[in-house]
Amino acid sequence: MTAYSLLDLVPVVEGGTVSQALANAADLAQHAEGLGFSRYWTAEHHGMAGIASAATSVVLGHIAAATSTIRIGAGGIMLPNHAPLAIAEQFGTLDALFPGRIDLGLGRAPGSDQRVAHAMRRTLETDANAFPQDVLELQSYFADDGQTGITATPGAGAKVDLWILGSSTFGAQLAAALGLPYAFASHFAPDALMSAIAIYRRDFKPSAALSRPHVMAGFNVFAADTAEEAELVASSQQQAFIALRTGNPGKMKPPLAGYRESLGAQGQAMLDHVLQCSAVGGPAKVAREIATFVARTGVDELMVASAIYDHGARKRSLEITAQAMAELKVAA
C-alpha cells in the first residue's frame, strides 16, 4: 500500500495574517489526521511574505499539540543554516514532548536568497562535504555515541526519524549511503525524479534506521467536486510559481479565472514544466492521475502538496485525495 502524507508551507494569503495561517495549519493537520494521512510536514523558508513556517520547530510544536496520532515533521530543515547541535536540541525537545511522532527531513539548500542567507549568520560556501558531515554530526548527537564529545540535552537518545531530501541525484546518493529514507521534491523540481529514485534503490545500504529503501515523492493535488472549480483553485499556486520565478514572491493571491490562459505560451510552458507532477480536476481525474504517478514511480509514499487560497476548498481537496488513495489501496 502506498502511504500518503501532507506538505504544508503554512501559506499566508493576501488579506490574511500569520496568526490566521498558523491557525489554519493546525486545523488542516487535524483534518489530515482524520483522513488517514501518515504525516504532516512543513518546511523552512526565510524572507518570504507568503510562508509562515520559517521557525519550523516552533510551528511543528504548535501542530503536534493540536493533533494526537499523525507524525509531524520538517520537510525540511535546511541544515546549512544551522549548527547540527541546535537542531538536535530542537528536535530532541519535540521528541520529548511528542514521543514517537517526530520526523526530521534534511536539505542542503538555504531556503532563501543570498541576502537572507547572510542574515542567518551562516557561511555561504558550497563545500560538497559540509552537508554530509553535518548529517553525520546530527546523527551522532541523537545516538549519543560520544564521537562529538558533547551531549545534546535534549537530543541524546531521541527517537527522531531522519530523512534526506533532494531535488537532484546528490541527495539520493547520500540517503542510499547512509541507509536513510529519501524524499524527492518532484512537486516543484521534477526533472531528476526517475534517475534519483533509480540511484537510491540501486545503491541503498541497509542501516540500523532502515532495512530496505523507502522513497517518498512530492505531488501537487488540486482537487474539487468539478473540473472547473479545480482549475480555479489551482490558479493561486500557479500565480505563486510565476511570481517566484519572476523574482516577485508575495502572499498567496485569490484564485483568478482564466489565469493560465492569460500567460501566453512562455508562461504556460513554465507552469507545465514545474507542475508536471500534479493532478488538477474532479475526483475521478485526480484518482486516475495519482494512480498513474504511483505506478510510474513505484514510490512507497506520496507527499501531497496542496496550496489553495480558500481554507475550506483546501480541506475538500484533501478529502478527495484521501478517497483516491483509498481506491488505490482497494485496487492493489
> pLDDT by residue (tens digit) across 255-288?
999 999 999 899 999 999 999 999 999 999 999 9
Q: What is the mean pLDDT of the segment spanning 9-14?
A: 97
Greater pLDDT, 85 or 130: 85
- Determine the Cα–Cα distance for residues 205 and 256; give it in Å rounded to an integer: 48
CA nearest to 249, candidates 105, 55, 98, 111 = 111
Sign of CA dihedral 12, 64, 1, 179: positive
Model confidence at 124, in pLDDT bands (50, 70, 90)? low
- Determine the Cα–Cα distance for residues 105 and 109; give it in Å rounded to an integer: 12
CA nearest to 107, candidates 53, 55, 165 = 165
CA nearest to 306, candidates 286, 285, 326 = 286
Model confidence at 23, in pLDDT bands (50, 70, 90)? very high
Neighbours of 192 (CB within 10 A): 19
Model confidence at 113, in pLDDT bands (50, 70, 90)? low
Residues in the chain, total: 332
CA nearest to 322, candidates 23, 10, 2 = 2
Q: What is the mean pLDDT of the segment spanning 106-125?
A: 70
pTM for this prediction = 0.95
pLDDT of residue 119: 76
pLDDT of residue 115: 75
Rounded to 10 deg, the angle between the 193-203 and 169-178 helix axes is: 20
CB-neighbour burial class of residue 115 (10 A; exposed 0-12, middle 13-18, buried 19+): exposed
- Determine the Cα–Cα distance for residues 255 and 1; give it in Å rounded to an integer: 34
DSSP letter (8 states) at residue 3:
E
- Determine the Cα–Cα distance for residues 220 and 261; give it in Å rounded to an integer: 20
Q: Where are the alpha helices (DSSP H) in the chain?
A: 18-34, 56-66, 84-97, 114-119, 130-143, 169-178, 193-203, 227-245, 259-262, 264-274, 283-297, 311-331
Does the structure show a pLDDT above 60 at 122? no
Give the mean pLDDT of the chain: 94
Q: What is the mean pLDDT of the segment spanning 233-240?
A: 97
Q: What is the mean pLDDT of the segment spanning 114-123?
A: 68
Give me the domains of the chain, ranges plus CATH numbers: 3-331 (3.20.20.30)
Does the structure show a pLDDT above 90 at 125? no
Q: What is the mean pLDDT of the segment spanning 219-246?
A: 96
Element of type H or E holding 280: strand 278-281
Does the structure show a pLDDT above 90 at 129? no
CA nearest to 279, candidates 245, 310, 304 = 304
pLDDT in tens, 212-229: 999 999 999 999 999 999
- Determine the Cα–Cα distance for residues 274 and 13; give it in Å rounded to an integer: 22
Residue with cell 511570481: 243
Please name the amino acid found at residue 92.
G
- Determine the Cα–Cα distance for residues 258 and 231; give it in Å rounded to an integer: 9
Q: What is the mean pLDDT of the segment spanning 136-164?
A: 97
**How far, in whole angstroms, is CA 126 from its chain's centroid?**
23
- Determine the Cα–Cα distance for residues 36 and 244; give it in Å rounded to an integer: 32
